[in-house]
Amino acid sequence: MQHVAVNPWVALAYLVSGVCFILALRGLSSPTTSQRGNRLGMIGMAIAVVTTLATHVPLRNLASPLGNPHDLRIDWLTLVELLAAIAIGAVIGLTVARRIAMTAMPQLVAAFHSLVGLAAVLVGIAAYLNPVAFGIADLVTPMIGQPFAVIHPASRVEMALGVAIGAITFSGSVIAFLKLNGTMGGKPILLPQRHLVNLATLAAIVALIAYFTQDQSPFVFWAIVGLSFSIGFLLIIPIGGADMPVVVSMLNSYSGWAAAAMGFTLGNTAMIVTGALVGSSGAILSYIMCRAMNRSFLSVIAGGFGAVAGGDAGPAIDRPWKRGSAEDAAFLMREAEQVVIVPGYGMAVAQAQHVLREMADRLKEAGVRVKYAIHPVAGRMPGHMNVLLAEANVPYDDVFELDDINSEFSQTDVAFVIGANDVTNPAAKTDRTSPIYGMPVLDVERAKTVLFIKRSMGGVGYAGVDNELFYRDNTMMLLADAKKMVEEIVKALG
């Protein structure tokens, strides 16, 4: 039990680190305090790491394995290995963070989640293999044979939970990464009997964890690990691309719960506080995303959305619509008093954010008021559009959330929809049969004119429904690649 921290200063240090993490999140309440918050987060992490290194200095016994426990020396080799491991991680992490494109942020976050999950699994396995070092077991010396470690039943539950949640986080995040990265198609993959298989697997994991408290033999432990990895894959595979904001938030939450479970195992305040913070953060973000789509969390997790509806959308009825040119768009916007830009995932795909800001600058020079309206589920992760606009140097006080801007569309001359579709569909308000009925949408159709950039008239949005908006009298379709169209508008604005 020599590794259990009993020193109150150590417990206090972990507490300080936990408080730093709380303040780090608190800082994000406004862009002005956010950078200070981030620095506090780094300080908190440094305190946690240094405290652990100081209290768990690797030691080795020079005399003999059973010698005097006070005759311990610092094991410099292991210490160097530890620092080298941190350094390797630092180099990889910093390189990736510096090089990653802002449009690739959802993939990056998913990849990072998978690392937390895998780290939790590794820690759990290490704790299982060497429970005495973690202070979670009693050594029992039988009459005959080697002494063996009996892990405390409570620790077994915490450990098994940590490993299971970590494994689900890992495999789920890998799938989310592949889908967001385009390596794997965004369409839901529906396996036969998937609900049954998933429920059975989950039930088996719960049962095994219960059994693990009675029997700590390896096969139970490894079965939990194996089943948890597979349920992570199975759960995320049937979920479509545009539901990824919910999935990424959910996995964010899981990575927190995994850390918390490990914190219980180690009795570590910093880990428990962090786990609770991250767990609730992810849960709240998932809730916000679900609410913004008017769908229950369960329906998102059950998956398959967009797979069926996309198929039977069938040939759209030939309805009249208006097509405009870049020159028309430029003319309309230059004459406008207020233009509201509605960006969506298509803007990110086309990398159109920089040229879009250029267009906004030209309009501002011409005396037009330009605002941006962001739907909570625009893009592939919460806040995705805000980051892209910030990257393009759009001031954040020009960017508005759905609730703050929706009443303004009726006083807007031009609504400029670029790369968004379902979030502007008025059918969500009127058509009870529509799959997106009840979803809060941006009231773009109230603007005098709607300019809608779309690649072609053929495709439908993620929900697989035709957009009512295209056929309105006040809508003008700009059919082209988003970036190319905006470039032409900029040229036409002169």
Partner 1 sequence: MDFVAILSIFVLACFVGYYVVWSVTPALHTPLMAVTNAISSVIIVGALIAAAASGSPGSKWLGLLGVVLASVNIFGGFAVTARMLAMYKKKERSAGAAKH
Q: Which of residues 213-272 bind partner 1 (CB under 8 A)?
A: 248-249, 252, 255-256, 258-260, 262-272
- Nearer to partner 1 (CB atom), residue 198 or residue 252: 252
Q: Smallest distance from the beta carbon of 448 to partner 1, in angstroms?
A: 25
Q: Smallest distance from the beta carbon of 112 to partner 1, in angstroms?
A: 5
Site membership for partner 1, residue 370 (CB under 8 A): no
φ and ψ of 45, to 5 deg: -65, -40
For partner 1, the binding residue among 88, 200, 203, 457 (CB under 8 A) is: 88
Binders in 418-477 for partner 1, by CB under 8 A: none
Site membership for partner 1, residue 377 (CB under 8 A): no
For partner 1, the binding residue among 13, 105, 333, 490 (CB under 8 A) is: 105
User: How many residues belong to the site for partner 1 (CB under 8 A)?
Assistant: 125
Site membership for partner 1, residue 120 (CB under 8 A): yes
Q: Smallest distance from the beta carbon of 273 to partner 1, in angstroms?
A: 4
For partner 1, the binding residue among 147, 192, 219, 397 (CB under 8 A) is: 397
Q: Smallest distance from the beta carbon of 286 to partner 1, in angstroms?
A: 11
Site membership for partner 1, residue 73 (CB under 8 A): no
Rounded to 10°, the helix 105-129/218-236 angle is: 170
Q: Smallest distance from the beta carbon of 203 to partner 1, in angstroms?
A: 25
Q: Which of 125, 148, 128 is nearest to 138 (CA)?
A: 148
Do residues 229 and 170 touch, judged by C-beta distance below 8 A? yes
Name the one range near partner 1 by CB under 8 A: 132-140, 229-237, 408-416, 452-460: 132-140
Binders in 32-71 for partner 1, by CB under 8 A: 32, 34-35, 37-38, 41-42, 44-45, 48-49, 52-53, 56-61
Site membership for partner 1, residue 118 (CB under 8 A): yes
Q: Smallest distance from the beta carbon of 437 to partner 1, in angstroms?
A: 24
Binders in 321-360 for partner 1, by CB under 8 A: none
- Tell me the C-alpha distance between 181 and 100, whole Å: 12
Residues pairing with 417 in the sheet: 342, 452
Q: Smallest distance from the beta carbon of 35 to partner 1, in angstroms?
A: 5
For partner 1, the binding residue among 10, 16, 82, 349 (CB under 8 A) is: 82
- Nearer to partner 1 (CB atom), residue 107 or residue 449: 107
Site membership for partner 1, residue 365 (CB under 8 A): yes
Burial of 134 (0-12, 13-18, 19+ CB in 10 A): buried
Do residues 190 and 308 touch, judged by C-beta distance below 8 A? no
Site membership for partner 1, residue 362 (CB under 8 A): yes
- Tell me the C-alpha distance between 306 and 134, whole Å: 47
CA–CA–CA angle 30, 31, 33 (5° rounding): 70
Binders in 275-314 for partner 1, by CB under 8 A: 275-282, 284-285, 288
- Tell me the C-alpha distance between 20 and 40, whole Å: 5
For partner 1, the binding residue among 13, 103, 107, 109 (CB under 8 A) is: 109
Name the one range near partner 1 by CB under 8 A: 124-132, 324-332, 346-354, 460-468: 124-132
Site membership for partner 1, residue 393 (CB under 8 A): yes
List the catalytic residue out of 71, 361, 398, 422. 422
Rounded-to-10 torsion of CA 200, 202, 207, 208 = 110
For partner 1, the binding residue among 327, 337, 401, 473 (CB under 8 A) is: 401
Query: Residue 66 in 3-state DSSP?
Result: coil
* Tokens standing for residue 440: 């809060």
Query: Residue 101 in 3-state DSSP?
Result: coil
Q: Give Cα 331 to chain centroid, integer Å.
A: 40
For partner 1, the binding residue among 16, 202, 390, 460 (CB under 8 A) is: 390
DSSP string, 424-459: G-THHHH-TTSTTTT-----GGGSSEEEEEES-SS-
φ and ψ of 60, to 5 deg: -140, 150
* Tokens standing for residue 160: 């098994």
Q: Which of 199, 168, 493 is nearest to 327 (CA)?
A: 493
Site membership for partner 1, residue 24 (CB under 8 A): yes
**Residue 456 CB neighbour total at 10 angstroms:** 8
Site membership for partner 1, residue 366 (CB under 8 A): no
Name the one range near partner 1 by CB under 8 A: 29-37, 176-184, 293-301, 474-482: 29-37
Query: Residue 62 in 3-state DSSP?
Result: coil
Amino acid at 456: S
To the query of whether residue 71 is one of the catalytic residues in this protein, the response is no
Site membership for partner 1, residue 113 (CB under 8 A): yes
Site membership for partner 1, residue 316 (CB under 8 A): no
Query: Residue 473 in 3-state DSSP?
Result: coil
- Tell me the C-alpha distance between 171 and 191, whole Å: 17
* Tokens standing for residue 483: 């970036």
For partner 1, the binding residue among 7, 68, 130, 410 (CB under 8 A) is: 130
Site membership for partner 1, residue 116 (CB under 8 A): yes
Query: How many Cα atoms sit within 13 Å of 64 on the Cβ side?
Result: 2
Please list the active-site residues. Answer: 422
